[in-house]
Amino acid sequence: MIGLDALGIVAGLLPATVALHHALDRRAPRRWRNALFWGAFAVTLMAGPWLPYVVDGGLVLLMVALATTGLKPGPVPTTNDAERQVLTDRFGMRLFLPALCVPAIALAGTLLMSSGSIAGVAIIDPKQVTLVFLVVGIAVALALAIRLTRPPRAAPAMEARRLADTIGWAMVLPQMLAALGGIFAAAGVGKIVADGVTGLVSLNTPLIATLLYCVGMALFTIVMGNAFAAFPIMMAGIGIPFLIHHFGGDPAAVAAVGMLAGFCGTLMTPMAANFNIVPAAVLELRDRYAVIRVQTPTAILLLIVNIAIMAFFIVPGVPR
């Protein structure tokens, strides 16, 4: 059955390709440092579930050490602005077809094969159907892009390396922050938060509990850079004991709106580097925080809306 382990192997092909490309680039002064970083990332994705915890942890620490000392990859040959304009004029709107394949195939696969079975035979883990078809969509998009543009054979690997080098260590940040959230949850940080909050504020009304839950999700996300890392803490600390058990809120709705509140924090923090810092670097903006400055007013407005939705429509406010 196709599950997360198989998807990890497929996902690891990208950093493995980047690592190999760095290792073969004799002109780059730090090629082995870059190759080791991306190679370690590929191993954690492709073989992580079967490696001892100590080995996985050692690979993560190695990646942190390499990123801290500086990767500084060398330039990668690519097209210039004039060449890109020629390709744009030649292919026109057809250039968007590969990108549109990804969501179209992911959506169609999810709707048509939600059970993960064909003729009663289980092929895909039902919990991972969307991710599997997302990967299928990416593979189809890559094949279509190659068929459409007919680039040199080495172009896909070179462009993958160029993009990975542009993003750098921030590409690993979502996985590390999600793992950090799991560690915090296992360490009981949620209970500590709950004890600290109840010691300072009386959560005797659903509005106060909602305010603390949603604002806490946003603040923890700002600090940790990932709403998925903040979620187990705030859910265990305020969401489950107060909004769900005490005030009778719907668990699915409390979780969903809480995540939306956390995403408001994502829009306002440089810790979410892959969302806020990387685009500024890719677009070569002078102000590296320009994306955050533009997003912050919208994020605050959305946070207020999420609080209102939670307080007036999700949590009935009748203590159990």
Give the pLDDT score at 126: 83
Do both 48 and 141 map to the same domain?
Answer: yes
Assess contact for 209 and 247: CB atoms under 8 A. yes
Tell me, what's the pLDDT at 295? 93
The answer to whether residue 309 sits within a structural domain is yes
In a domain, 146, yes or no: yes
* Pair of tokens at residue 32: 């082995």
Neighbours of 268 (CB within 10 A): 22
Taking only the tens place, the pLDDT of each residue in 25-72 is 887 777 888 889 999 999 998 998 888 989 988 988 898 888 888 777
Which of 164, 196, 220 is the last residue in one of the domains? 164
Q: Per residue in 102-123, pLDDT tens?
A: 999 999 988 888 887 877 778 8
Estimate to the nearest angstrom the gap between the alpha carbon of 122 and the chain centroid.
28
In this structure, the answer to whether residues 50 and 156 fall within a common structural domain is yes
1, 146: one domain? yes
170 assigned to some structural domain: no
159-178 residues labelled b (16+ CB within 10 A) or e (exposed): ebbbebbebbbbbbbbbebb
**Under-70 pLDDT residues of the chain:** 178, 181, 190, 194, 197-203, 317-320
Q: Report CA dihedral (104, 107, 109, 111) to the nearest 10 degrees.
A: -140
Domain match, 138 and 198 both: no
Q: Determine contact, residues 259/310, Cβ cutoff 8 Å.
A: no
Structure confidence at residue 262 (pLDDT): 93
Q: Decide: helix, strand or coil at residue 211.
A: helix
- pLDDT over 90 for what percent of the chain? 21
Q: How many domains does the chain have?
A: 2
Question: How many Cβ atoms are within 10 Å of 126's Cβ, its own excluded?
Answer: 13
The domain containing residue 207 runs over which residues? 188-314
Residue 82: both structure tokens together = 């004039």
pTM (whole model) above 0.85: no
Q: What's the pLDDT at 107?
A: 92
Q: Please tell me the distance from the alpha carbon of residue 142 to that of residue 156, in angstroms, as a whole number.
A: 9
Angle ∠(184,188,190) on CA atoms, nearest 5: 80
Q: Both 286 and 140 in a single domain?
A: no
Residue type, 4: L
| Cβ atoms of 205 and 242 closer than 8 Å | no
Distance CA 56, CA 51 (A): 6
Q: Are 126 and 1 in the same domain? A: yes
Shared domain for 4 and 42, answered yes or no, is: yes
The amino acid present at 42, given as its one-letter code, is A
Beta strands in 63-143 (DSSP E): 117-118, 121-122
